[in-house]
Amino acid sequence: MEKEIAKIFNKFSTAIGTICTMLTSTFGIEWVLFAGYLLLNITDYLTGTIKAKMKNVENSNKGLIGIIKKICYWFLIGLSFFIPYLLMLLGNKININLDFIMLFGWFTLACLIINETRSIIENLIEIGIKVPEFLKIGLEQYQQIIDSAINKLNDKNK
């Protein structure tokens, strides 16, 4: 019995290691940020579904629209990294350093992570879970810090 458990554990460990290696080679060590955002997407969808069931306002069309929106957020993330990458390549060709615009992708991901987290917290509150006030306030302040950094970057490059 112990040998079977050890075999299963080894296969599971190998699979997880392989997945992590593939993700790291594709996205770098920042893959954890993307995986975290995916986890937040799933959690937000689940808490939203639970909230709808508890309030007896389930609607399959609304659920489908929610899934489509989340897929579109992933397109937005892809674009927010892809377009700056293309512009950086063009900048290199014409001898203009545009490396700073890669921050657009990171700012986009940060804003979406905050929005998903806020949505989860709102869902939990509506479900009846007591959420510590500092979480709500902290997320609002973090959003303000990001917005301020974006504004400074925009002002600097005008």
Is 158 strand, coil or helix? coil
In a domain, 118, yes or no: yes
In a domain, 10, yes or no: no
Give pLDDT tens digits for 93-108. Answer: 999 888 888 888 998 9
Grade residue 137 by pLDDT with cuts at 50, 70 and 90. Answer: confident
In a domain, 145, yes or no: yes
Q: pTM for the full model?
A: 0.74
In a domain, 146, yes or no: yes
Give pLDDT tens digits for 34-65. Answer: 889 999 999 999 999 999 998 888 888 888 88
Pair 86, 125: CB distance under 8 Å = no
Which residues, 6+ apart, have CB-to-CB distance to 80 below 8 Å? 104, 105, 107, 108, 109
Q: Does position 30 have pLDDT exceeding 90, yes or no?
A: no
In a domain, 5, yes or no: no
In a domain, 22, yes or no: no
Is 1 strand, coil or helix? coil
Confidence at residue 79, expressed as pLDDT on a 0 to 100 scale: 93
In a domain, 7, yes or no: no
In a domain, 52, yes or no: yes
User: Which residue range forms the structural domain that includes residue 106?
Assistant: 29-156
Pair 120, 44: CB distance under 8 Å = yes
Number of structural domains (the chain) is 1
Is 56 strand, coil or helix? coil
